[in-house]
Copies of this chain bind each other. A is one copy, B any other.
């Protein structure tokens, strides 16, 4: 069950959601593949990892497959999210509507800037990072979004693990070390830009 297969499931789900709005009832692996930029066999292999949801000769029923994918991805439940770091990136994320739509609800926001502490974002009062434990006692969260400067990221991650966070989406340009049983996803803009730069080196001039 590879990481990349899972990410494709997420893309399939998105495509199915866009389709549903257009009223399509049935979709073939080839069509789904086209929307996502992969191949029919790939789609079928990915789905077959979790069962057989299609009907031969016809394709996949959009709505049921959508439900099934949401279920597989763990999106049929609510996840409570703590946002650590109320800088510009944090601000962008709080405003990102997909989070809530997908069942990720920000319940706690922490920062260490005295200017910000006490102000409200989306109705949530920003608390001091040092009081993480207290904040989690009031509003526990399974997931954290880490949007602090690189230097502060590892300490914040350690603290998050201590208060029981099981998944971290890290936006700081640092590779976090976390114990077994805690999942981390890195969204690393610098790495992305640099790999773009590498690709360009061979395309430009």
Flag whether A162 is at the interface (Cβ < 8 A): no
* CB-based nearest B residue for A194: B10
B167 touches A102 (CB 8 A): no
The complex is assembled from copies of this chain, and their number is 2
Interface centre among A75, A191, A201, by most chain B C-beta atoms within 10 angstroms, is A191
Interface residues of A in 6-48 (CB under 8 A from B): 6-7, 9-11, 13-14, 35-37
Flag whether A67 is at the interface (Cβ < 8 A): no
Chain B residues contacting A92 (CB-CB under 8 Å) are 87-89, 91-92
For chain A, what secondary structure do more than half of its interface residues adopt (helix, strand, loop), or is it mixed? Answer: helix
CB distance from A8 to the nearest CB of B (A): 9
Q: For A10, give its contact among B74, B87, B99, B191 (CB under 8 Å).
A: B191
CB contact under 8 A between A169 and B196, given known A11-B191, A88-B91: yes
Flag whether A104 is at the interface (Cβ < 8 A): yes
The digit string for A53-92, where 1 denotes a CB below 8 A from any CB of B, is 0000000000000000000111100010000000111011
A196 touches B167 (CB 8 A): yes
Total A residues in contact with B, Cβ cutoff 8 Å:
57
Interface residues of A in 147-204 (CB under 8 A from B): 166-167, 169, 173, 175, 177, 181-183, 185, 187, 189-201, 203-204
Can you give 9 A-B contacts (C-beta < 8 A)? A10-B195, A92-B92, A98-B189, A102-B190, A167-B197, A183-B200, A183-B203, A185-B192, A185-B193
